[in-house]
Amino acid sequence: MRPFTKHTGLAAPLDLANVDTDMIIPKQFLKSIKRTGFGKNLFDELRYEDEGQPDQECDGRPIRKDFVLNQDRYKGASVLLARQNFGCGSSREHAPWALDDYGFRSIIAPSFADIFYNNCFKNGLLPIVLQAEEVDQLFAEVALREGAQVIVDLENQTVTSPSGATFEFNVDNFRKHCLLNGLDDIGLTLQQDSAIRRYEEKRMNDAPWLFLPRGQ
Amino acid sequence: MSGKTLYDKLWNSHLVQQRDDGSALIYIDLQLLHEVTSPQAFEGLRLAGRKPWRVSSSLATPDHNVPTTKKERISGVDGIADPVSKIQVITLDDNCNEFGITEFNMKDIRQGIVHVVGPEQGATLPGMTVVCGDSHTSTHGAFGALAHGIGTSEVEHVLATQCLVQKKSRNMLVRVDGELSPWVSAKDVVLAIIGAIGTAGGTGYAIEFGGTGIQSLSMEGRMTVCNMAIEAGARVGLIAVDDTTIEYVKGRPYAPKGEHWDMAVEAWKDLVSDKDAQFDEVVVLKAEDIKPQVTWGTSPEMVIAIDEPIPRPEDQKDPVKKEGYARAWKYMGLEGKTMLGDVTLDRVFIGSCTNSRIEDLRIAAQVVKGRKVASTLKQAIVVPGSGLVKAQAEKEGLHEIFEAAGLEWREPGCSMCLAMNADKLGAGEHCASTSNRNFEGRQGFGGRTHLVSPAMAAAAAIAGHFVDVNEFVKH
């Protein structure tokens, strides 16, 4: 996994509450058996006027000009400002894969849906929860000036707004550690294999029916 | 010290290692796999040269992509017309073969929607931890099991380590007190709960559903309620184990037998919240107040009783809500309408992991029996949740009732719930659907979904618009 330490980037404001994972990446694109290539279909129904198909070239498709990512001033954005309950709905990891593939590194919102929030960390993408007023301020500052950049510092757990205001955020130590160092958490868990085996032995004793070959 | 909740007990019995920052390793007893969220996980295992920790803990079946017409199903996976879907289903078959995982493939009568198949086989048992790369895994909580929807990286993590890294959720109790009215089903109960607490109301919580209104439900009804816990924001929905649970599990193919059965039942009796358990949040609904529900907008919380007027954006005080309502009104094409009965329906879908079990099909058949679907309807389809549900329905002659009324009888799968196969809505079409999500585009590009119970969907199919099923059956 790519490490995340400190990131400075253009912020794009997506001013919509309850953005669900069907909006982030519609179902027809989930048929892929790969982890990459979802970026061109990120927010497909918000971004394009027609119905997108897997394996379709997107360059010539009619776009919705008013959608934030279609505006020239937000081309190349790598920080997404969002509203409450971002990422609600399905568990599809294709949602963070699509955001990552498009070029986003961090998403800032007043709240996230649990599964989506969790999935981001597995993909080097940092979801940040700030107070609603702080998110409002970022939206206002980003709208004010073209090219406004936001600094996300994971080590110090701060977001710095274009005007220099600094907001602190919380993140679990373990997730922070994995993200800072780009660690594969399967490898880390497997270092605990003896603890897992000890648990299994005890459990086999307490609840043997859970370990029988099926149907016996 | 206060007593423990059911969630606390399940958490404690699966705790492998607690970390200082509050996260923990918990042991997973059952992983269900399907074709959409597993290929990248198997690929990850291969790339890292890893093997599954315990293959017997996994069970797989294709469901999201599979076609539901007889014509396409007759030759199994080879019959899938969409080449991209076909590759995904073949990939699941190949991965299960390579890693030695039990799979009910497209030719197996046990194939179906993972959340129907697991309980039907007795693979899902009380007291287990269950995961699946699908948010509706909360369904299995109906058995007093700790069931989480997870992402693909976590699917790989569980395959490789048998564990999941989790942070413990807070405890919420949603109690439904009293007796449900006739024709008010589990689906109406859970929609009313989501309407009351909102789609983010359960975020960060494990919700236990309790009270007489829940206890009186069958196991299938309980699965419907837990299925939609995620639509209230909670990854986990739970219902305490009682005689109904144990009766349901008994004798299923994968359920324990003989002395193991007796041991298991003894242990399962403790799978209830202690009387003095403390919940961080308690929500109480009166069963008598719950009427048949219909969603009007593009989020499951945009839901009303059939006899209520559609809420208008201009009447909302909260600016975020006002904007959300305005967007939903536009998307759903509600201008000029007052009641949901004013909406002309184009399609009806009876199916999905929420409502495709035998009791759902029985009640829908009861409503349409001897009647005909409205001539204004383009299509009404009934999609059973598994091959075994289909066989049971056919044994009871339900398929004949549906077909005589003009509804199509299909093969098992997720179908129009998320429209990954050919079953979908056209732009602007309104659908009465027994599924779980009414998001923009969920059932097809530009499609307009209204979530309802099987009885309400069946009545709507006959009337061509929404009606109160309670009134409808009197005529």
Q: What is the pLDDT of residues B348-386, one digit of tens each?
A: 999 999 999 999 999 999 999 999 999 999 999 999 999
* CB–CB contact A85 B203 (8 Å): yes
As a whole-number percent, the residues of chain B with pLDDT over 90 amount to 97
Q: Is A182 helix (H, G, I), strand (E, B) or coil?
A: coil
CB contact under 8 Å between B20 and A54, yes or no, is: no
Look at A115 and B267 and tell me if their CB atoms are within 8 Å.
no
* pLDDT band per the 50, 70, 90 thresholds, residue A1: confident
Instruction: Using an 8 Å CB-CB cutoff, list chain B residues near A182.
Output: none
Interface test with B, best of A29, A33, A49 (most B CBs within 10 A): A33
Q: Is there a contact between B200 and A212 if contact means CB atoms under 8 Å apart?
A: no
Instruction: Please check the confidence at residue B447 and state whether its pLDDT lies above 90.
Output: yes
Mean pLDDT for B273-280 is 97
B200-248 pLDDT tens trace: 999 999 999 999 999 999 999 999 999 999 999 999 999 999 999 999 9
Between B91, B264, B440, which is nearest A209 by CB? B264
Q: For B157-190, write each residue's pLDDT tens digit.
A: 999 999 999 999 999 999 999 999 999 999 999 9
- Report whether B417 belongs to an annotated binding site: yes
How would residue A55 be classed by pLDDT, with cut points 50, 70 and 90? Answer: confident
Q: Is B36 within 8 Å of A34 when comparing Cβ atoms?
A: no
Say yes or no: ipTM exceeds 0.90: yes
- Over the stretch B51-72, which tens digit does the pLDDT of each residue have? 999 999 999 999 999 999 999 9
Query: Does the annotation list B132 as a binding residue?
Result: no
Tokens of B197: 């607490």
Report yes or no: B19 at the A interface, CB cutoff 8 Å.
yes
**pLDDT tens across A134-181, in order?**
999 999 999 999 999 999 999 999 999 999 999 999 999 999 999 999
Residues 205-224 of B with CB under 8 A from A: none
Residue B415: predicted pLDDT: 97
What's the whole-number average pLDDT of chain B? Answer: 97
Taking 90 as the threshold, does the pLDDT of residue B152 lie above it? yes
Our separate counts of H helices and E strands in chain A read 8, 7
What's B170-240+267-289's CATH class? Answer: alpha beta
CATH topology of domain A6-183: Aconitase; domain 4 (3.20.19)
pLDDT digits (tens, 9 = 90+) for B392-413: 999 999 999 999 999 999 999 9
CATH class entry, domain B296-472? alpha beta
Domain ranges of chain B: 6-166, 170-240+267-289, 296-472
Note the pLDDT of residue A184. Answer: 83
Confidence of residue B2 (pLDDT cuts 50, 70, 90): confident
Give the model's pLDDT for residue B252.
97
Query: Is the pTM for the entire model greater than 0.80?
Result: yes
Of B153, B167, B323, the CB nearest to A93: B153
**Domain ranges for chain A:** 6-183
Percent of chain B with pLDDT over 70: 100
Q: What is the mean pLDDT of residues B300-323?
A: 96
The 10s digit of each residue's pLDDT in B385-396 is 999 999 999 999
Chain A contact present for B259, CB below 8 A? no
pLDDT of amino acid A118: 95
pLDDT top residue among B344 and B21:
B344
Q: Do domains B6-166 and B296-472 have the same CATH topology?
A: yes
Q: How confident is the model at residue B21 (pLDDT cuts 50, 70, 90)?
A: confident
| Confidence band of A108 (pLDDT split at 50, 70, 90) | very high
Closest by Cβ to A210, choosing from B16, B128, B149: B128
Which B positions 369-428 lie with beta carbon below 8 A of chain A? 418-420
As a whole-number percent, the residues of chain A with pLDDT over 70 amount to: 99
The confidence score (pLDDT) of residue B475 equals 80
Average pLDDT over all residues of chain A = 96
- A152 SS3 class: strand
B440 interfaces chain A, CB cutoff of 8 Å: yes
pLDDT over 70 (residue B1): no
What pLDDT does residue A195 have?
98
B6-166, what's its fold? Aconitase; domain 3 (3.30.499)
What pLDDT is recorded for position A214?
74
- Give yes or no for residue A216 having a pLDDT over 70: no
B191 pLDDT higher than 90: yes
